[in-house]
Amino acid sequence: MNLSDAFFLSRFETYLSAEMKASQHTVAAYMADLSTFLNFCSEQYELKSAEEISSQFIRSWLSELMSDGLSPITVNRKISSLKTYFRYLRKHKLVSNNPMLKITGPKKPSRLPVFIEESKMEDLLAQLINEKNDEKKDPKFQIALDILLTLYHTGMRLNELIHLEKQNLDISKGLIRVLGKRNKERLIPLTEEATEILVRNSETQHELPFIFTTNSGKKLYPKFVYRAVKGLLENTTTIKKKSPHVLRHTFATHLLNKGADLNAIKELLGHSGLNATQIYTHNSVERLKNIYKTAHPKSNKTS
């Protein structure tokens, strides 16, 4: 098989979306990674076919990425792209060996999820509500606030919010059906405030099936949501990271701090396993340590 066969690459792209049920964002990222890697093999080593690619060439590419300053998280994402690609080649018997079997990624640095503390979140929301009353005629501020509140009340992902459909809102039961990763559905219970927000946006006059749209009535897109959330957080909080995902972390951490069961949080977040959810227990442990250091007479307060 030719290294850059456009027809085959198109079939692989279809496989990612149709069979693996990957999101548009994931498909685009995987295809970009693959294109960069194949160009590297062609330009640096003049390889002509996928059969010629060995683990040596892959390690050389990864080494170049690390030298360019890419983070271990980004490099591991690119490794995941290549693993999927070579599994596909082996499945269709287009290569005799899988060179990715000998590849291990760089160790990821342990990082705690960034979240907004509960008291600060209350202050933030109070400030935003006051601003809303001052700017109630500004539709851009209203949609941004509705997006921020929905993300915090439900813990859903950015892409899940974008694809929320009116038909999946069950007002009588106070539930919203969310389509998560790998097209896995889950139900998220709604607060009265979240229900009111979703109902109000559902009743906006536009022909699209989605609950949220842009101010011009078009489908939301990731940059729109990111800018909306960042714009509100920039003026109300001092945390360095101000992405929509911070609200998901905040949702999960607040639930855990209030005594919610870890398995319940896992289901609400749409995690496939507990490993992904357990990162939030670290935040709770750090919180307990800080309380202990502050309150216990025998604690070392200077440590």
Q: What is the pLDDT along the chain (303 residues), one digit of tens a residue?
A: 677 778 889 999 999 999 998 888 899 999 999 999 999 999 999 999 999 999 999 999 999 999 888 888 899 999 999 999 999 999 999 899 999 999 998 887 666 788 998 989 999 999 888 877 765 568 889 999 999 999 999 999 999 999 999 999 999 999 999 999 888 999 999 999 999 999 999 998 778 999 999 988 899 999 999 999 999 998 777 788 899 999 999 999 999 988 899 999 999 999 988 888 888 887 666 666 666 677 767 666 554
CATH number of the domain that 85 lies in? 1.10.150.130
Q: Is 281 domain-assigned? A: yes
**Options 163, 248, 254, 266, the catalytic residue:** 248
Q: Is 299 domain-assigned? A: no
SS (H, E, C) the chain: CECCCHHHHHHHHHHHHHCCCCCHHHHHHHHHHHHHHHHHHHHHHCCCEHHHCCHHHHHHHHHHHHHCCCCHHHHHHHHHHHHHHHHHHHHCCCCCCCHHHHCCCCCCCCCCCCCCCHHHHHHHHHHHHHHHHHCCCCHHHHHHHHHHHHHHHHCCCHHHHHCCEHHHEECCCCEEEEECHHHCEEEEECCHHHHHHHHHHHCCCCCCCECCECCCCCECCHHHHHHHHHHHHHCCCCCCCCCHHHHHHHHHHHHHHCCCCHHHHHHHHCCCCHHHHCHHHHHHHHHHHHHHHHHCCCCCCCC
Q: What is the pLDDT of residue 291?
A: 64
248 in active site: yes
Question: Do 158 and 27 sit in the same domain of this protein?
Answer: no
271 in active site: yes
157 in active site: yes
Q: What is the pLDDT of residue 244?
A: 95
Q: What is the pLDDT of residue 303?
A: 46
Question: Do 135 and 266 sit in the same domain of this protein?
Answer: yes
Residue finishing a domain among 102, 128, 143 = 102
Q: Is 185 domain-assigned? A: yes
Question: Do 208 and 264 sit in the same domain of this protein?
Answer: yes
Question: Do 128 and 192 sit in the same domain of this protein?
Answer: yes
Question: Do 137 and 34 sit in the same domain of this protein?
Answer: no
Question: Do 61 and 154 sit in the same domain of this protein?
Answer: no
**Options 30, 152, 153, 157, the catalytic residue:** 157
Q: What is the pLDDT of residue 183?
A: 84
Question: Do 164 and 268 sit in the same domain of this protein?
Answer: yes
Q: What is the pLDDT of residue 204?
A: 84
Question: Do 134 and 219 sit in the same domain of this protein?
Answer: yes
**Options 181, 186, 230, 282, the catalytic residue:** 181
Q: Is 80 domain-assigned? A: yes
Q: Is 108 domain-assigned? A: no
pLDDT tens digits, 20-57:
988 888 999 999 999 999 999 999 999 999 999 999 99
Q: Is 52 domain-assigned? A: yes
Question: Do 80 and 19 sit in the same domain of this protein?
Answer: yes
Question: Do 240 and 199 sit in the same domain of this protein?
Answer: yes
181 in active site: yes
Residue finishing a domain among 77, 102, 127 = 102
Question: Do 133 and 240 sit in the same domain of this protein?
Answer: yes
Residue finishing a domain among 47, 74, 102 = 102
249 in active site: no
Q: Is 1 domain-assigned? A: no
Question: Do 154 and 278 sit in the same domain of this protein?
Answer: yes
Q: What is the pTM of this model?
A: 0.67
**Options 77, 132, 177, 245, the catalytic residue:** 245
Q: What is the pLDDT of residue 24?
A: 87
CATH number of the domain that 278 lies in? 1.10.443.10
Q: Is 143 domain-assigned? A: yes
**In 3D, which of 234, 203, 226, 216 has the Cα closest to residue 144?**
226
Q: Which domain holds residue 220?
A: 118-294
Count of structural domains within the chain: 2
102 in active site: no
